[in-house]
Structure 1
């Protein structure tokens, strides 16, 4: 199937805008909460047996599961076949990428919220782990080509317009 002129460029630009927007959605609240954090407070105290920390620490399991699911979950796996058109592959990439970014956004907001309720470096580290995952999920052309098994002809078609 032939691509319309600039369809790939517009798609790629749109995916990067979504990607950066979702990262900002979680980064801004985290940064504001982190800046308000009392640097003189004893953050190691977070490992105490206080009931609030024990309850909030359970969020780490949710964040860890979300992080695992983004990579291995059934609903985030690409569903294409060998004779899918480039437009179908672009729709599939967008759909699955948005789901992955959304899951990471929820996990990031949970980490920031937990950090706000009970300041602890455990939640800061979990948030940074989420940011690292975002970097591996960046919607680059190479990732698109690799993940959706784009052929050489399709790739040339993407750039010919």
Structure 2
């Protein structure tokens, strides 16, 4: 599995722009919009890779029926998901299955999707969301995310 530690935390918020300003002011976090990931679920998303923060909020008009609405209605704003970096996504899923858990959602972006949506920042981007909320109080996701080599030629 090759655990690499915490990659980022996902924080559910009511107002995405207000939250982006807060974490920018507090930490100097630089957010990029990632709404393409959340629009099918009725949420807007922003990620600050430099701070390890992902924010999600209901889209306007979707405050009661977005994927994040039940969490916000029950718990208010807060950490909803913690992403742990792993070196081998499939081995990580096998490990959690051996301990009675399952992946409830998985994604594996192609290089074209990475280039188009993530600015070409990575050479591999794979995530597995695990069914841990009832036991842990938040969801755990395992993320195999490999940065592109930044070596300069010559």
For the aligned pair, the TM-score class normalised by the smaller chain equals under 0.3
RCO comparison, higher one (Cα < 8 Å, 6+): 1
TM-score (norm 1): 0.24
| Higher relative helix content | 1
Higher strand content, 1 or 2: 2
